[in-house]
Amino acid sequence: MMISEKMIKLAQNNSAIRAMFEEGKRLAALYGRENVFDFSLGNPNFPAPQALKTALLDILNGEDSVYVHGYMSNAGYESVRSAVADALNKKHGTAFTLDNIIMSVGAAGALNVVLKTLLSPGDEVIVLKPYFVDYGNYVANYDGVLVPVLTDPATFQPDAEKIAAAVTPKTKVLLLNSPNNPTGVIYTEESIRKVAAVLEARQKEYGTSIFIVSDEPYRELAYDGCEVPYLTKYYRNTIVCYSWSKSLSLPGERIGYLAIPSECDDYKLVFDGAGIATRICGFINAPSLMQLAVARCLGETTDITPYDENRKLLYKGLTDCGFTCVFPQGAFYMWMKTPVDDKEFMNAAKKHNILVVPGASFGCAGYVRIAYCTAKSTIARALPAFKKLAQEYGLC
Amino acid sequence: MMISEKMIKLAQNNSAIRAMFEEGKRLAALYGRENVFDFSLGNPNFPAPQALKTALLDILNGEDSVYVHGYMSNAGYESVRSAVADALNKKHGTAFTLDNIIMSVGAAGALNVVLKTLLSPGDEVIVLKPYFVDYGNYVANYDGVLVPVLTDPATFQPDAEKIAAAVTPKTKVLLLNSPNNPTGVIYTEESIRKVAAVLEARQKEYGTSIFIVSDEPYRELAYDGCEVPYLTKYYRNTIVCYSWSKSLSLPGERIGYLAIPSECDDYKLVFDGAGIATRICGFINAPSLMQLAVARCLGETTDITPYDENRKLLYKGLTDCGFTCVFPQGAFYMWMKTPVDDKEFMNAAKKHNILVVPGASFGCAGYVRIAYCTAKSTIARALPAFKKLAQEYGLC
């Protein structure tokens, strides 16, 4: 075999997803881009805040090129790490310093760095169904074993009892994501406390360290003033993976950070290990100009009003047709129950020029994910098509 | 064990390197930064060309934020990949299209993507001693086996016979770097032809594919009009890993590309695999703004005159003292024979406030690497210290 055995399988799986994108292109060519309702991708359709542009221009015009574009410590500029720590402390009452922050190539980079740092082959990583599809690939990168555990089927909150039953002496990580992709659910303080209690008990029982790795690209996208609990305050062995992709609408720039609290087990080994992992995984460091820019935008977030309007419009439209959806509290995804098999539904939706992702891609059949980070007009024009689809299944 | 078994070992090795940096800081605090001669890091001390700043400002002021900072295909913007392909074709007479180019998070990112794509556990990767220290870590990331092979001890050119002897049916990659870090040597057309012939013969003999992976961050740093052969023209199964870190002096930005020729074995699997690897290794895509910026600077390179002046000044100074050095044809490293064990020499140099990297770090004891991408004045002020060091060993 000419390429890696692992990659052969991945290439085959990938083709299914690619086929959907190709289908989108085909439909757009046939019916016009504006008549294709593409809800498949989590790509923010809104510009970055003006403050980001101002920061970038000020840095380029005011700072030394060697400083702006040069190497720094693999963990990132010390000034940037300090600024991030200060901002977190102000917001969440934590006590971080620069020695708790490692700048990363987005949250995906941060997750890979953490898993590279923590996992030995065979170590188990619990994820909560439904979960972001690439978690499985990230865990496989380090020969970890993915252990998917169902959330509460009514609320999609973590189910502490099911988690307790899944923890073994090999469990190294519980990988969480709240606000959640794909459900839009925010894990409550009560859920978090229960999960923390379970992990504390199991750590004691087994004499192990179990890390919560909290994937937080959607932290700032919380509606109706809903609070997103900051997990390091509830559980000592928490590592936060943050990204500005969604909060500043710059997913293409790959900029985020890891927060590793001093209180976590083997803090120094973990922190130093993550710095080394940043280097040897090939990231070297987070992009330099963008590090300096986000440090000047720590109080800024993209205006979430358009997402909020989309959320309400789409939820009302879909439920009015008779569909059953989770009313999202955060992120920009609608999780909708399908009246038939989710892949069959996806194909039926395609006939109405609607592109959605089947729940099976998130380890949870019987649902589809609808990404509403689109123009509002796309949703308005798609609703009649959703209605026809609902009628086909006798929902209205 | 709380962190990965592999990482424990890496953290221990890393401490030695870190100790050197700490020593640098300690010396600077004692004697003043200007009296410490730090030749340990390949961090360009020269600004990026004005054209890069102009490109960045034009893009920020003229283009749509959602386009500039948004997601694109994992392989990169199609327009950028086309522009890179066109520039390569113009320069090297190749026949690339966008379907041969994948934008990467620097050369380190590109190398990890290639190795992830190609290696199954146990596959062998030949590297030529001396070699960049992290090649070993990159290969270990994918459970490959590093096979270091000596270059010609007089010229540091690849030794085709030694390579022939090292190739086995498990050999998947020969990883090359020219202009070379740490020797500054450029591999000649003759060397390349011999190596290509050896690999062609072995591929035929074993019925395998052996890829040359060419790590080319220093391609543009070639002195005296010296030509750096473009390897895809000599060997079909060549994959090029390029970075603009040194050619545009922006190592902190992490921007480069992979060139995968259509002629290589299993081209489609390799190309698609590399796109998937870009995503699942956690890079997702090369930083977006910087992709657009480098595409506007494809004719630009940092002025290499200052490096050339440093090269001549340092070479003359060191050889005048009686040291034996390779006269570098490219990159910005001087490879110097040590009169005693290289780690002992490194420590002796430290006493003169000179920081250099021992050859053992490149798999080649008995030498040190001196990075001359510093201010010229640093070299001028360091030469008397080098002279004292030479006197200690009776070289002058």
pLDDT single digits (tens) A260-307: 999 999 999 999 999 999 999 999 999 999 999 999 999 888 889 999
Q: How far apart are CA B255 and CA B8, in angstroms?
A: 30
Q: How far apart are CA A52 and CA A249, in angstroms?
A: 10
Do the chains contact at A251 and B120, CB–CB below 8 Å?
A: no
Q: How far apart are CA A340 and CA A186, in angstroms?
A: 27
Q: How far apart are CA B173 and CA B175, in angstroms?
A: 6
More confident site: A38 or A1:
A38
Of B66, B117, B255, the CB nearest to A7: B117
- Strands B354-355 and B37-38, how do they pair? parallel
Q: How far apart are CA B54 and CA B67, in angstroms?
A: 18
pLDDT tens for B98-135 read 999 999 999 999 999 999 999 999 999 999 999 998 99
Of A61, A66, A288, the CB nearest to B45: A66
Q: Contact at 8 Å (CB) between B233 and B259?
A: no
DSSP code for A73: -
Backbone phi, psi, residue A104, to 5°: -135, 165
Amino acid at site B75:
A
pLDDT tens for A212-227 read 999 999 999 999 999 9
> Given this model, what pLDDT does residue B35 score?
87
The pLDDT of residue B296 is above 70: yes
Q: Average pLDDT for residues A196-208, to the nearest whole number?
A: 98
pLDDT band for position B15 (cuts 50, 70, 90): low
Q: What is the CA angle A180-A293-B62, rounded to 5?
A: 100
Of A65, A249, A273, the CB nearest to B48: A65
Q: Domain A5-47+302-392 is classified in which CATH homologous superfamily? A: Aspartate Aminotransferase, domain 1 (3.90.1150.10)
The pLDDT of residue B337 is above 90: yes
pLDDT tens for B308-326 read 999 999 999 999 999 999 9
The H-or-E segment that residue A129 falls in is strand A124-129
Q: What is the mean pLDDT of chain B?
A: 94
The pLDDT of residue B18 is above 90: no
CATH no., domain A50-295: 3.40.640.10
Do the chains contact at A69 and B251, CB–CB below 8 Å?
A: yes
> Given this model, what pLDDT does residue A164 score?
98
Q: How far apart are CA B69 and CA A254, in angstroms?
A: 9
Q: Cα dist. A233→A56, A210, A214, A229 in Å?
A: 33, 16, 12, 8
Of A4, A8, A253, the CB nearest to B116: A4
- What are the chain B neighbours of A52 within 8 Å (beta carbons)? 69
The pLDDT of residue A18 is above 70: no
Q: How far apart are CA B209 and CA B26, in angstroms?
A: 50
Would you call B65 helix, strand, or coil by DSSP? helix
Q: What is the mean pLDDT of chain A?
A: 94
Domain boundaries, given as residue ranges, for chain B:
5-48+303-392, 50-295
Q: Average pLDDT for residues B135-146, to the nearest whole number?
A: 96
DSSP code for A201: H
Q: Which chain A residue is nearest to residue B172, measuring alpha carbons? A: A2
Do the chains contact at A7 and B289, CB–CB below 8 Å?
A: no
Please list, in sequence order, all residues whose beta carbon lies within 8 angstroms of the beta carbon of residue A235, skipping any fewer than 6 positions away: A192, A195, A196, A199, A200, A212
Q: Contact at 8 Å (CB) between B332 and B304?
A: no
Amino acid at site A133:
V
Would you call A25 an interface residue with chain B, using a CB distance cutoff of 8 Å?
no
> Given this model, what pLDDT does residue A16 score?
59
- Interior/surface letters B347-383, b for 16+ CB within 10 angstroms, e for the rest: ebbbebbbbbbbbbbbbbeebbbbbbbbeeebbeebb
Q: In what order do the strands lie in the sheet with A333-337?
A: A325-326, A333-337, A367-371, A357-358
The pLDDT of residue B394 is above 90: yes
Nearest CA to A286 among A48, A74, A59, A68? A74
pLDDT band for position B86 (cuts 50, 70, 90): very high
> Given this model, what pLDDT does residue B17 score?
60
Q: How far apart are CA B396 and CA B377, in angstroms?
A: 23
Q: Contact at 8 Å (CB) between B334 and B372?
A: yes
- What are the chain B neighbours of A6 within 8 Å (beta carbons)? 120
> Given this model, what pLDDT does residue A222 score?
97
Q: How far apart are CA B293 and CA B250, in angstroms?
A: 12
Cα distance between the two ends of chain A: 53
Chain B window 45-74: which residues touch A at a Cβ cutoff of 8 Å?
Answer: 45-48, 52-53, 56-57, 60-61, 64-66, 68-72
Q: How far apart are CA B396 and CA B393, in angstroms?
A: 8
The pLDDT of residue A123 is above 80: yes
DSSP code for B146: E
- What are the chain B neighbours of A112 within 8 Å (beta carbons)? 281-282
The pLDDT of residue A21 is above 80: no
The neighbour count for residue A239, using CB atoms within 10 Å, is 27
Q: Contact at 8 Å (CB) between B326 and B337?
A: no
Return the structure tokens found at A281: 């995984």
Amino acid at site A260:
I
> What fold does the segment set B5-48+303-392 form as a domain?
Aspartate Aminotransferase, domain 1 (3.90.1150)
Nearest CA to A41 among A194, A223, A182? A182
The H-or-E segment that residue A62 falls in is helix A50-62
**Of A386-395, B111-120, B301-310, which gets the smallest average pLDDT?**
B301-310
> Given this model, what pLDDT does residue B28 score?
84
Q: Which chain B residue is nearest to residue A121, measuring alpha carbons? A: B4
Would you call B90 helix, strand, or coil by DSSP? helix
Of the ranges A333-342, B21-30, B40-49, the best mean pLDDT one: A333-342
Shortest alpha-carbon distance between residue B194 and chain A (Å): 23
The pLDDT of residue B149 is above 80: yes
Please list, in sequence order, all residues whose beta carbon lies within 8 angstroms of the beta carbon of residue A384, skipping any fewer than 6 positions away: none
Cα distance between the two ends of chain B: 53
Q: Which chain B residue is nearest to residue A253, measuring alpha carbons? A: B287
Q: How far apart are CA B380 and CA B363, in angstroms?
A: 29
Q: How far apart are CA B223 and CA B257, in angstroms?
A: 23
Would you call A287 an interface residue with chain B, using a CB distance cutoff of 8 Å?
yes
pLDDT band for position A133 (cuts 50, 70, 90): confident
| ipTM exceeds 0.90 | yes
Q: What is the CA angle B213-B84-B276, rounded to 5?
A: 55
Q: Contact at 8 Å (CB) between B268 and B184?
A: no
Nearest CA to A45 among A232, A270, A251, A202? A251
pLDDT band for position B27 (cuts 50, 70, 90): confident
Q: Is the peptide bond before B179 cis (omega within 30 degrees of 0)?
A: yes
